[in-house]
Amino acid sequence: MANVLETIVEKKHYSFINGEGVTWQEAVRLSALPLVEDGSVSEDYYKQIVACIEKHGPYVVFEHNIAMPHTTENPEGAYKTGIGFMVSENMIDFGEDEDGEKKEANLFFTLSAVNSEEHMNNISQLMDIFMNDDLIDALGKCRSAEDILEAMKKYPCDNE
């Protein structure tokens, strides 16, 4: 199976923003842009993700300031399975969760799920990445595609 970070670089599904004063809605839109550019998702696809977070709260923001904005499998406006990876220099504010805890993110993995098998593979690799603290730290400092590949080589995830 192809390494998801490698695929992100190969398909140019990455972006880097400063993020100062950017709303989470805008951040979600920006994170999906590389997917829009190669026809993986429609321009409006991100709106479904925003609506979902507005409805259910920022439960897509995990520990270590990782956001995984996503919708269902085979949603309208999603044409190819992929991950829009985005690093923001500044934290993006997602408001508070159900316990009044502040949620913010600087790492975005925005999902488009069309092909079940590819999506499953993406999710399990992302889990390994999210639990690899050194790699997450390094990814937060990435400012280029080369940085992503370097971080990936320096802190590999052990695949069981």
Q: Which residues bind another protein (CB under 8 A)?
A: 52, 55-57, 59-60, 62-63, 68, 70-73, 97-99, 111, 113, 119-120, 123-124, 126-127, 130-131
Contact residues for 160 (Cβ-Cβ < 8 A; gap 6+): none
Nearest approach, Cβ of residue 99 and another protein (Å): 7
Nearest approach, Cβ of residue 17 and another protein (Å): 22
Q: What is the token pair recorded at 101? A: 């805890």
Per DSSP, the three-state class of 101 is: coil
Nearest approach, Cβ of residue 125 and another protein (Å): 11
Whichever of 108 and 130 has its CB closer to another protein, that residue is 130
User: Which residue's entry shows tokens 């998801």?
Assistant: 4
Dump the DSSP string for 23-84. -HHHHHHHHHHHHHHTTSB-TTHHHHHHHHHHHH-STTEEGGGEE-----SS-TTB-S-EEE
Count the neighbouring beta carbons within 10 Å of the beta carbon of residue 158.
6
Nearest approach, Cβ of residue 73 and another protein (Å): 4
Whichever of 14 and 130 has its CB closer to another protein, that residue is 130
Contact residues for 21 (Cβ-Cβ < 8 A; gap 6+): none
Nearest approach, Cβ of residue 159 and another protein (Å): 13
Whichever of 47 and 145 has its CB closer to another protein, that residue is 47
Whichever of 3 and 121 has its CB closer to another protein, that residue is 121
Whichever of 46 and 62 has its CB closer to another protein, that residue is 62
